[in-house]
Chain A
Amino acid sequence: MIRGMLAQLNKDWLEFRRDRLSVALAFFLPICSLFLFSYGIRLESKHIPTEIVDNDGTPLSRDFARRIYATAAFVPASAQQFDGDAKDALLTGRARAVINIPCGFEAGINMNRTTQVLFTIDGTALTEAHTAKMIAENFGTVFSMLVKPPDPRLFYLLPKITVWFNPGLQEALFIVSGAFGVILWMFPSLLAAVSMSRDLEHGEIIQPFCANLDPAAFLLGKVGVYLAAGIVQSIIIMSIGCALFGFHLVDSPVILICCTIVYLTAAVLFGILLGVLTRNQTAAVQATSSGGFFSSLLLSGFVYPLNNIPFPFSLLSYVVPARYYIDVTRDAFMRGSEWAMVSRNFVPLLAFAVLLFAWCWWLLKDMRMKD
């Protein structure tokens, strides 16, 4: 069995090495993806183009406008004074928020009367709209405190907020550590899926089976090559990620290394499984992109929070291995990890690897010609 496995490993290695462009892309693509994910994905919106309709035109209303722009969340959409229609500005996309300061703004404040400022936000840019809404809701209170110092006879609360694990609240740390999980699922599974489906499409699968190669040996040989490629990919992207964003392992690397190997094995087996099921290179890649790329990008907690997913769709995220591995990388690079905590991610990853191996073995076993 070991000889058979080594022969298969050697065959797949030669095949992989021979296609120079594929080898180059296999290592270049993850690096490009890392750059793209790390620099391109941000949820926090800044510089929302805004028009302010100042119907009051007093020093206080101008102060309100100045302070709104000082938040850095809003920037003037145009240099001129805006006196057009809010809906028109939003429809044409010239502005994504319009703030309407009413006539009598300053007078109302001086007379201690409630003064309402209307924020109209473009809801078609969703994350921006959420950020603008939250800042707008807070801004009235903040401005009130600035123009009218709190009455010392009244009670007020002072929350002392401390942020753990990421004190600077850098979104890049969250995104980059998550990007490792997405990239290391996508590319090893893609390479394995293309290799397996090509063996089946070209009928090359007959050769190992004619040589009486055990399906387990065949699988282990194939996994070996693409696991090695995945390990090299993981070393490259983690080194680049750490160098670019200046973060490092919080704890010993043992947990991360163990989880990475199990995760990569599961990714390669996932690719092999799709290759066996589709038996066609195009279909295999299509299935990898639908089942692997989209799910690991969007249903793993990489960008959007998982606890917002409604039941029963929330169950889907439990069968996305990237969900568990991203937790491991965020533990390793941000929170720190212990085996007791990691087991809740390690055990599912191991279960995925074993299950996928058993499924592939079962399908390949049935392909063998009977004696």
Chain B
Amino acid sequence: MNKAINDWAICALILKELRLTLRNHHLVFLLIFPPIVQVIILGYCLDPQVRNVRIAIADLSCTPESRALVRTFTDNRELFVPHLVFPDARQVASELVSESADAVVVIPSTFSGKLERFHVGEFQVLLNGVDAFTAKVARGYFQLIAAHAFPGRHTGIVETLVRVAFNPGLLSAWYFVPGVLGAAITLSGTLVSSASMLRERESGTLEQLLVLPVTSAELLVAKMVPLFGLLFADVCIAIMLTSYLFSLPNRGSMVLYLFFSAVYILVTISLGSLMATVCSSQRQSQLLSFFINIPLILLSGSVVPLESMPEALRVLSLADPLRYYQIVARDILLKGLGPHELGDEMLCLLGFCVGLLSICIVRIRHQLS
């Protein structure tokens, strides 16, 4: 009899939470719409590859050799956007100062003469060093272009052949989509779950829940079900859309990917609920969620590369559940790895899930008593 009452109370509680969530159209919209839009927009927009470097050229030599050199830059449309060819060096340098160009090439009037007499053609490159990464890559390409400008210079000594595995075209969307989706789920999951707990407390309805024949674990489950459903729908829609829009490959098991996504959604909701137990108002929880979410997103490697972070931060990122989720997502979708290869990540994510849920239940029980 008691068990039947208990089951009925949990169902009623889940139903109440479901109705409350679905009635809040703003919330449903914000849970479903922004993550999907973010994934699509950022999938198109984020691209760390150095290309479209605007170059301004001053050819003071105006000889067939200098024009051949200018052509090597203007023909490379993938890397360079030739801005203009200027008649004098001072004018072309001002392009760099006014930020109209990222690099300036000055071919001196002595270029052809020196090339003829000493077999060495010198030219000057001025680089805008503000964006240090772009400047370094551009510097490398200028050296490469100079080395290959005159065919026959290096008569077949060592050639490097580069092959890129798993993402042969180095498509940025394939890299960013799984990570951005994880980041968007983190933001939505933690924010909404903490707010839904605190709203009960602020409006005084938490006390009413005390009279229900449910345990703190069941109360937490009832709170989690609607949010979990909406966020899981989010993941399904986003992954279907991005597979179509970006031809994102699915080389592994989709079931495994969705399983990991479900575990990660539980982690984010548990984290949000835990935040709610340490805050006394929604305002505090919103600020605290930013305090936690920004490091979670940045240290995970989902939007900025994890590999180039300093060692100390990489060690710190071991405590970040999003790190494991983004590794798992990329490994399943791009590398086609299965559960055997992803055992460590699976253990870590399940550990986070169980650990956070347990702490959360203990704290809620303590608060309710």
Residues of A bordering B, CB below 8 Å: 19, 21-22, 25-26, 28-29, 32-33, 36-37, 39-46, 48, 64, 86-87, 90-93, 96, 109, 112-131, 133-141, 143-145, 147-148, 150-167, 169-171, 173-174, 186-187, 190, 194, 198, 278-283, 285-287, 289-290, 293-294, 297-299, 303-305, 307-310, 313, 316-317, 330, 334-335, 341
Chain A residues with CB under 8 A of B289:
285
- Do the beta carbons of B167 and A126 come within 8 Å of each other? yes
- Do the beta carbons of A154 and B167 come within 8 Å of each other? no
Chain A binder among B12-20, B47-55, B257-265: B47-55
B28 vs chain A, min Cβ distance (A): 10
A28 to B290, CA, bound (A): 11
Chain A binder among B215-223, B231-239, B291-299, B357-365: B291-299
* Chain B 148-159 interface 0/1 with A at a Cβ cutoff of 8 Å (1 = within): 111011111111
Chain B residues with CB under 8 A of A281:
195, 282-283, 286
- Do the beta carbons of A134 and B137 come within 8 Å of each other? yes
- Do the beta carbons of B286 and A285 come within 8 Å of each other? yes
Chain B residues with CB under 8 A of A26:
287
Given known A123-B166, A156-B120, contact A144–B27 (CB-CB < 8 A): no
Chain A residues with CB under 8 A of B141:
134
A–B Cβ pairs within 8 angstroms, 15 of them: A64-B158, A121-B163, A122-B164, A123-B166, A124-B330, A143-B157, A147-B157, A152-B119, A164-B128, A164-B129, A166-B135, A174-B133, A282-B196, A309-B45, A330-B130
Q: Which 5 A-B pairs have the closest CB atoms?
A: A123-B167, A166-B129, A114-B156, A282-B195, A144-B157
- Do the beta carbons of A29 and B41 come within 8 Å of each other? no
- The tally of CB-CB contacts under 8 A between chains A and B is 369
Chain A residues with CB under 8 A of B144:
137-138, 141
Chain B residues with CB under 8 A of A116:
159-161
**Residue on A with the closest CB to B139?**
A161
Asked if B22 is at the interface (CB within 8 A of a chain A CB), the reply is no
Which of the listed residues A118, A173, A297 has the most CB atoms from chain B within 10 Å of its own CB?
Answer: A297
* Chain B 59-84 interface 0/1 with A at a Cβ cutoff of 8 Å (1 = within): 00000000001000000000001000
- Do the beta carbons of A136 and B162 come within 8 Å of each other? yes
B158 vs chain A, min Cβ distance (A): 5
Chain A residues with CB under 8 A of B209:
none
- Do the beta carbons of A45 and B191 come within 8 Å of each other? no
- Do the beta carbons of A164 and B126 come within 8 Å of each other? yes
- Do the beta carbons of B153 and A308 come within 8 Å of each other? no
Chain A residues with CB under 8 A of B41:
313, 316
- Do the beta carbons of B167 and A115 come within 8 Å of each other? no
- Do the beta carbons of A286 and B133 come within 8 Å of each other? no
Chain A residues with CB under 8 A of B131:
174, 305
- Do the beta carbons of A286 and B291 come within 8 Å of each other? no
Chain B residues with CB under 8 A of A44:
132-133, 136, 308
Given known A25-B288, A174-B131, contact A298–B34 (CB-CB < 8 A): no
Chain B residues with CB under 8 A of A166:
129-130, 132, 135
**Residue on B with the closest CB to A190?**
B290
A352 vs chain B, min Cβ distance (A): 20
B134 vs chain A, min Cβ distance (A): 6
A289 to B15, CA, bound (A): 29
**Residue on B with the closest CB to A111?**
B156
A299 to B43, CA, bound (A): 12
- Do the beta carbons of B130 and A313 come within 8 Å of each other? no
B199 vs chain A, min Cβ distance (A): 8
* Chain B 186-211 interface 0/1 with A at a Cβ cutoff of 8 Å (1 = within): 01100110011001000000000000
A204 to B305, CA, bound (A): 45
List CB contacts (< 8 Å) of B245-293 with chain A.
281-284, 286-291, 293
- Do the beta carbons of A282 and B149 come within 8 Å of each other? no
- Do the beta carbons of B172 and A21 come within 8 Å of each other? no
